[in-house]
Amino acid sequence: MKYFAKYISIMLIATGCIQTGCKKSIQDPASGNLSAAEMSKQMAVSLYRSLSGQYGGANINDGIKSPLNYIPVEKKRKANALNPYCGMFIDTTYNFSETVSDTVKTYFGHYRFTYGCTNNVLDSYVLDDSIANAVNRDLYEANYKLTQKYFVKALDQTYKLSSVEGSISFSSHASLFNQARTNAQYHNSDIYYKLKGVRVDISSGVADVVQGEAGFTAGIHNLDGTIKVDNNFYGSITFLSNRRARVLINLNSETKIYIVNMISGQVTAG
């Protein structure tokens, strides 16, 4: 189990953040429409953090290598394969629970990482990574899920420039019940990104997404007693280099454009 130590610690932190964040939202839910500027910031910053491994899984700063310290196992290596990594993969699952005082925490994850080669030269990987955490305590429930599906391929011999295709989805649902076990309050968020033509440059030591875009759809839904607020929105993120992105967002039947610094979160009108 020590193989999982670093990876599981990230998940424990994520679950703790989701638990406290959802509780805060339930106690003081949104009473009106969301801010387009704030949501543009969240969409861009969250995407960069996911790509750079801050939510677990692959880190685009690592280049063409596994983000976990596992020894890959051979699947079906051809007899004439010159590179021992060609066709090798990591495939692992964990599922466990712990009880702390009156709270039950459950952790589940499935991780599959496959190396790819061109002419026996290691130059790509495919990642399929799913994480699901749950917290249950008396009249409170929270569930968090993150799924990352990437195909990453080196575009030069230095492995400093890579293409990234795939998708990322987040889901966070938290509910607070009354004594009759009916919903008194809840905060639910569901976000999906689709990556297209993304190019990542790590030559400076810190990943910069220099090209490509990500389409997104999202829904954020709050209930506080009789006050119910539903927000559904969609848009696109176009990467501008220097860790900036142009975010086009359609929210409340209005389309707006912002420039977001994906590191600092600074937002300016586009």
* The pLDDT of residue 32: 53
pLDDT of residue 81: 52
The whole-number average pLDDT for the span 242-262 is 94
- % of the chain beyond a pLDDT of 70: 79
Provide the pLDDT for residue 239: 96
Position 26 pLDDT exceeds 50: no
**pLDDT 10s digits, 168-211:** 998 999 998 888 877 788 899 999 999 999 999 988 888 889 99
Domain spans of the chain, in order of start: 2-269
**Kind and range of the H or E element at 145?**
strand 140-154
CA 3 to chain CA centroid, Å, is: 22
Residue 58 has a pLDDT of 66
pLDDT at residue 51, as a whole number: 84
Residue 1: count other Cβ atoms within 10 Å of its Cβ. Answer: 7
User: Cβ distance 116 to 153 under 8 Å?
Assistant: yes
What's the CA gap between 20 and 206, in Å, rounded?
30
- For residue range 115-169, what is the model confidence (pLDDT) as tens digits? 999 988 889 999 998 989 999 988 899 999 989 999 999 998 888 899 999 999 9
Distances (CA, A) of 147 to 56, 111, 193, 209, 214: 10, 10, 10, 20, 16
Amino acid 164: pLDDT: 92
Q: How many CB atoms lie within 10 A of CB 2?
A: 6
In this predicted structure, the answer to whether residue 78 has a pLDDT above a threshold of 70 is no
**Between 194 and 111, the higher pLDDT residue:** 194
Write down the residue that tokens 């586009």 correspond to.
270
**Angstrom distance (rounded) from CA 82 to CA 120:** 6
- Chain mean position to CA 16: 16
More confident residue, 55 or 157: 157
pLDDT bucket at 56, cuts 50 / 70 / 90 = low
SS3 138: coil
Q: What is the side-by-side order of every strand in the sheet holding 103-118?
A: 73-74, 88-100, 103-118, 121-137, 140-154, 161-177, 183-201, 208-224, 227-241, 244-251, 254-261, 267-269
Model confidence at 61: pLDDT above 50:
yes
Q: Which of 176, 201, 211, 233 is nearest to 42 (CA)?
A: 233
25 pLDDT higher than 60: no
User: Do residues 252 and 234 make contact, with C-beta atoms less than 8 angstroms apart?
Assistant: no
